Amino acid sequence: MKLRIGDKVRFLNEVGEGVISRIKDQDNVYVEMLDGFEIPFPVKQLVPIHTELILNIDAENIELDAEAQQADAVYFIIEPDHELPSLVSEYKLYLFNASSFNIAFTYSVKDDAYFQTLKHGEVGAYQKILLKSVRIKFFDEFTYHKVDCILFKNIHFKAQLPISEVLNISPKILTNSTLIKHEEFKWPVFAFMLKDNFIIKEEIAQELSLIDIAKLQSIKEFKSKSKISKSNKEYLKSLELEVDLHIEELVENVSGLSNFEMLNIQLEKFDKTLDKAFEGSIKKIVFIHGVGNGRLKQELINRLKHIKGITYHDASHKEYGFGATQINIL
């Protein structure tokens, strides 16, 4: 089974779901949970949730060519629900990414003098995403449709200019437009091209102009914060804890302990540390749990979800890699 970055998946042997955030190797991937935490999982233990149509099932982010193909393009698609105009009752609006780039997008409509965002998110390479299902009167009420896109890959790629297009679409314009048949859509569609030039000769990076330099020079220097005295640093350090939950740090001899027993010992240490922190004046705790199979981290998250007065997130990757969770007590 091929999994790609951005695919939504369910866990085969436990409750929960997430999104593929990184490819670890051929047999393992990282899954970002709904609360933002990232956990490694074997591919065999994941079931894909096909919420969006993959147009090229063989495409895989880490295997895509570094250079975009000349045939690549990005479209705004309107698909009527019937090929005969008199029988059309609904229109589906799609962002159709027929390119090897991933796209972070926003879709907005003009409401009086301002634009209102109706949908935002990401769409993978060679995928399309449903933006909205509407009736014909929607185009009477909202004539201007704005699509903004940033293009990127998870491998080396040539920088592309962002897409920022405002389309004028009304019932009259649709009536006078030509429908196009495409194998990926059930009915003939109206297609508005947003981008097709992925082979750019000019460098996107630009040198600073004299005006830019003058603006930079006119910005006043920020006043640096007053230095913190050594005694204050020591006091702030006293409000922090670092707790290693590796089982070897908690018991002298692990022989004879089952996985369940070891997990309970680690969770007991976690609970006691958190209780003492609330009773005292601790403001920050870093729990080092390692990567492993991700079970301990998930158990910690399940507990933290129900505790008020805290925030939590992955600890510094620079200091702890991906094996620690930081808790801030408010």
User: CA nearest 274: which of 231, 297, 303, 317?
Assistant: 303
Q: Give residue-wise pLDDT tens across range 124-139.
A: 888 899 999 999 999 9
d(CA 326, CA 242): 9
DSSP H or E run through 230: helix 230-238
**pTM attached to this predicted model:** 0.46
For residue 186, the tally of other CB atoms under 10 A from its CB is: 12
d(CA 297, CA 16): 14
Average pLDDT over residues 194-214: 65
For domain 230-329, give the CATH number. 3.30.1370.110
Q: Give residue-wise pLDDT tens across range 45-92.
A: 887 775 444 444 444 443 334 444 556 889 999 999 998 888 999 999
Single-letter amino acid code for the residue at 64: L
d(CA 28, CA 16): 17
Asked if 241 and 286 count as a contact pair (C-beta separation under 8 A), the reply is yes
User: CA nearest 44: which of 7, 93, 100, 1?
Assistant: 1
d(CA 164, CA 214): 28
Position 230 confidence tier, pLDDT thresholds 50, 70, 90:
low
- Distance, CA of 97 to chain centre: 17
For domain 73-195, give the CATH number. 2.60.40.1600
Instruction: From residue 59, give the alpha-carbon distance in Å to each of 1, 20, 72, 101, 201.
Output: 12, 15, 14, 11, 26
Q: Give residue-wise pLDDT tens across range 96-129.
A: 998 888 999 999 999 888 899 999 999 988 889 9
Position 247 confidence tier, pLDDT thresholds 50, 70, 90:
confident
Q: What is the pLDDT of residue 301?
A: 87
Q: Give residue-wise pLDDT tens across range 251-280.
A: 888 888 888 888 899 899 988 888 888 887
d(CA 50, CA 16): 16
Phi, psi of 244 (to 5 degrees): -90, 115
Sorted by where each begins, the domain ranges of the chain are: 8-51, 73-195, 230-329
